[in-house]
Amino acid sequence: MRLLFFGLVLISLLRAETVKVTAVPTTLPKNIQIPAVFAFGDSIVDPGNNNDLYTTLKCNFPPYGRDFMGGKPSGRYSNGKIPTDLIAKLLGLKELLPAYLDPALKPQDLLTGVSFASGGAGYDPITAQLVTVLGLPDQLNLFKQYIGKLKAVAGEERTANILSNSLYLVFAGTDDIAGTYYISPIQS
């Protein structure tokens, strides 16, 4: 079901991004406002959190990113934008959803959301441990850290509004199946 939903959302976003189809709404109704997008999960939504981790699961080198802005690799497991970039743009928040661990992240970037995802992560903590990446518990700890930083930038009231009205996305599971359960002898 998750793949079907993801596929339908991605197809709609890609159509809206490249063809500007009017049948696909590109704005929300006036009574609905989403102030930020937060992503957790694996490589599908990792915009570069693995770049500075001690892991072999990185993609901040060519040929990744050759069609990305400036033709430079960003750490996205893609040649261009990833689904969360498309969603953030569709919602009118920002062009790209940045990695929370990006050293160039500015305090203002926190207001409209970030991605905590780490390529190679899964629902099972063992999946992330096998390849030394940020598992979902690690990502949630970074989210707690993010909340403290957001309060410093936006104040208590605005932070509460952002957190309660934002879009939270979780994309994970394929690394659990592909790595932990089929390849690794740890889980049988």
Residue 187, token pair as written in the block:
């889980």
Which two three-digit tokens encode residue 157?
A: 């009231």
Half-sphere exposure of 159 toward its Cβ, with a 13 Å CA cutoff? 14
Active-site residues, by number, are 43
**3-class secondary structure, 109:** helix
Length of the chain: 188
DSSP class of residue 93 equals S
Q: Are 47 and 99 in contact (CB under 8 A)?
A: yes
